[in-house]
């Protein structure tokens, strides 16, 4: 398998906050009611006299330096050669160390099994050449999967952070964003004119 680093590319200018990504993930992964591996939050920050709001969809960022992998006492986490961080349920003892150690609070303890679960980037679908549930479900292609190491050639205008969010980058999260454009946060048209990303897979 060639060495890559899979990650997400999120466009806050497109996201409608419809939560289709959350629902597709929950349904596709057969999660118990009320348990979600992805979250959509509304962010707000002030720029001069303007108040800017946008939606942010987040899940496990499959960090280059994953804290969950470092701190799990059962060594239940591993990172594949494509950069996806996987969690082995059979090794998990449900201690919750991963939940507490993750700066993004991505792993959660499933109350029905008492064990931690997290986004696995739908690696089984990926291995079959398909795309993750959340990416496939986004009606406006605000969420895409990318290869972080080759991002510059694929989408050169991306940023590592967005205004209004404090996210410490020491774990090197594998997520990139399109820069915020003032007044363009809510787009109802799923396909923009001259759009170079027609499918969700970069």
Partner 1 sequence: MNMKTGICNELFIKSIEELALGRDIPYITGMLAEEIGKGVIITDSVNRVLAFHDPSGTGVAVGEFFPLNREGSGGNKAGAFEETGRFREGQWATDKGILNYVYLTIGVPGKLYGHCIVLCAGRELDTRQKMIIQQLSLTLLLALKESLDQEVIREQLLDEFTYDVLYNNYDSKVALFEKARRLKWNLEGPFAVVVMDVPTHKLSTARRLGPAVFNTSSPIYTVINENVVIILSLTNLSDVQIKTALKEFTTELLGNLAFNHVKDVHMGIGCVATNLTDLHQSFQEAKVALELGKVFSAGDISCFDEMGFLKFIFSAPAQELQEFVQRILGKIIAYDLEMETELLKTIEVYLNQHCQITNCAKALYIHENTLRSRLKKIEQLLGFDLKRIDHLLNIYIALQILKTDHYHEFE
In the complex, the residues that contact partner 1 under the rule CB under 8 A are 3, 5, 64-67, 69-71, 75, 77-81, 101-105, 160-161, 165-172
Give me the half-sphere count of Cα atoms (radius 13 Å) on the Cβ side of residue 108: 15
Report the nearest approach of partner 1 to the CB of residue 200 (Å): 25
Residue 201's closest CA among 134, 120, 118? 134
Residue 55's closest CA among 173, 138, 174, 156? 138
Report the nearest approach of partner 1 to the CB of residue 166 (Å): 4
Closer to partner 1 by Cβ: residue 42 or 81:
81
Closer to partner 1 by Cβ: residue 51 or 170:
170
Report the nearest approach of partner 1 to the CB of residue 140 (Å): 26
Residues 6+ apart with CB under 8 A from 71: 97, 98, 101
Closer to partner 1 by Cβ: residue 91 or 184:
91
Report the nearest approach of partner 1 to the CB of residue 18 (Å): 24
CA angle in degrees (0–180, nearest 5) for 68-71-89: 60
């Amino acid at each position: 398998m060639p060495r890559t680093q899979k990650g997400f590319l999120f466009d806050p200018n497109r996201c409608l906050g419809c939560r289709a990504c959350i629902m597709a993930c929950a349904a596709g992964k057969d999660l118990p009611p009320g348990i979600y591996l992805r979250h959509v939050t509304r962010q707000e920050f002030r720029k001069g006299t303007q108040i800017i709001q946008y939606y942010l969809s987040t899940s496990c960022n499959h960090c280059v330096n994953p804290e969950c992998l470092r701190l799990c006492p059962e060594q239940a986490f591993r990172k594949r050669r494509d950069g996806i961080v996987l969690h082995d349920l059979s090794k998990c003892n449900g201690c919750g160390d991963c939940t507490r150690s993750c700066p993004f609070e991505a792993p959660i303890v499933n109350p029905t099994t008492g064990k931690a679960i997290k986004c696995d980037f739908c690696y089984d679908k990926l291995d079959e050449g398909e795309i993750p549930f959340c990416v496939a479900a986004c009606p406006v292609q605000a969420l895409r999967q990318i290869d972080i190491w080759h991002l510059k050639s694929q989408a050169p205008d991306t940023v590592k952070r967005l205004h209004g969010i404090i996210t410490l980058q020491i774990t090197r999260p594998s997520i990139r964003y399109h820069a915020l454009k003032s007044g363009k946060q809510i787009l109802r048209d799923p396909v923009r004119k001259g759009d170079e990303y027609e499918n969700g897979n970069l």
